[in-house]
Structures are given as C-alpha cells and as structure tokens.
Amino acid sequence: MYAQPPTPPRNPLGGLLRALLPEGRCRLCGLPSRAPLCSACQCERPARWRCPRCALALHGPVAACGACALRLPCFAGTLAWSDYAAPWDRLVAQCKFGDDAALARWLGRLLGQCLRAERPGWGPARCVLPVPLGPARLRQRGYNQAWELARGLAAELGWPCDCRLLQRRREGPAQSALAGQRRAANVRGAFAAAPLPRGARVLLVDDVMTSGNTAEHAARALLRAGAGDVRVAVLLRTPAPGPGGPGC
C-alpha cells in the first residue's frame, strides 16, 4: 500500500507537451509501439560495465570507479537503467516537464525489471523511497517524478513504497543549475528522515544521478534515522565529463 502525498496543482503546460507526442509510437525512435518504448529501445542500453557503487559507465569490469575507490559513498550501491545522454535524456524531460506521471510510472516498472534481473541480491527492501522535492518545486511542477518512478518500481517488485519517510527540509536551486562543490553545498543538510526500523534495507529512487551528492546526503539522513543499508536506483546516470567518455 502506498502512502500518497497531497495532490498538487497540475502543470498547465503538460497537456500541450503531451499532445505533441505521437500516440502509439515509441517515445525515442518513433516506430509503432504499444508501450512507451519499443522492444528495441528498451534493450538499447549503452553501458556494458558500470561502477557497482555509483553506476558510472566504465570501460571494463572493476570493483569501483576511481572516485569511489578514493572515497566510498555511504550508499551501498547504485543501479542505473541507462545514461543521461541523447536520446534517453528526452524521457526525463517528458517526465519532469510533460505532465506525464504515467510515463514515469511505466519507466519505474522498467527499472524494477532491470533491478530484478541485474541485482537479485538487493531485495526485498523494507521500503522504496523517492528523493523528495521541496514544497515550492512540487507546487510548480505539479508532481514528483521520482515518486512516480518509485511507485512503478515498487509495484513491479511487490515492495512497500512511501513518500513521507524522507523529506526535503531546505530548498535550494535545482542541482542541474549548479556545478562542482556548489552541488554538495546545495544538498548538505537538506534531508530529514523519520525513524526507521534499526538495520532496515532501503531503496532510494531518483530520475537522474550526476554527481551523486543528492543520493549521498539523502542516504546519510536515512542512515541516521536507523537504516542499515541504503541502495540507489536511478533511471539515468550522467556519464563522466570530458572527451575520454566513461570513467576509469
């Protein structure tokens, strides 16, 4: 059973954006498809290897990427369905700004199938939690796409899901508008978690991971609240910057 949030006002631009999307066609390639993504696009995932801790795309199988080898994040692992790059980045834009919560829930189910196939040892989680939005951004957008993803994933796996256990107590600029150390400062102390059963396994869900700072500080709040194990599932992971492509 889901703990439902209050229903905020809908985004008036969402209906217009959704109307521009072709019906009965894949959201990525445009070919006829009964599902939001055709079978070929569901399988078109560019990274063969990823860091098991932060899901950064890698050139080969290693225990951890360079950044995680130097300083392990406090979350125990990350699963990413694909990279935050064209054309997959369009999916996030449609979920965030297209007023398409149904698409986000369907993608959450896709992420749940990926987790079942690739991380069978991760479950069952005591609770699936979305990365929360602050009240102002929730009112502006009309819904939290991370919550819709979490709902779809939890329904696919049959795990409990709750949107109230983790809250954002301080709002700041969108992480996408910041770079470097400003990302870490923007989310430091931004999250608070309700008490959890001691040692509980928690799965944190978000649409995109870029620097990992949001997941890091949300996971810290959950660990302080009693969680014993926090893992992260994201729809898309931003590749390493620069011409070198994937991380080392």
* Average pLDDT score over residue span 36-64: 91
Read off the pTM. 0.85
Residue 19 pLDDT > 50? no
Q: What is the pLDDT of residue 157?
A: 97
| Mean pLDDT value across residues 53-63 | 92
Residue 7 in this model has a pLDDT that exceeds 70: no
Say how many domains are in the chain: 1
Q: Is residue 244 part of a domain?
A: no
**Structural domain includes residue 190:** yes
* pLDDT value, residue 248: 34
Q: DSSP letters of 50-76? A: E-TTT--EESS--SS-HHHHHS--SSS
Model pLDDT for residues 143-160, shown as the tens digit of each residue? 999 999 999 999 999 999
Tell me the pLDDT band of 132, cut-offs 50, 70 and 90: very high
| Residue 31 falls inside a structural domain | no
Taking residues 114-124, what's their average pLDDT? 94
**Residue 36 lies inside a defined structural domain of this protein:** no
Asked if 129 contacts 159 with a C-beta cutoff of 8 angstroms, the reply is no
Whole-angstrom Cα Rg for the chain: 17
Domain of residue 76, CATH code: 3.40.50
Establish if 27 belongs to a structural domain: no
**Enclosing domain of residue 55:** 48-237
Split at pLDDT 50, 70, 90, the class of 45 is confident
CA distance 248 to 239: 11
DSSP run (H or E) holding 192: strand 191-193
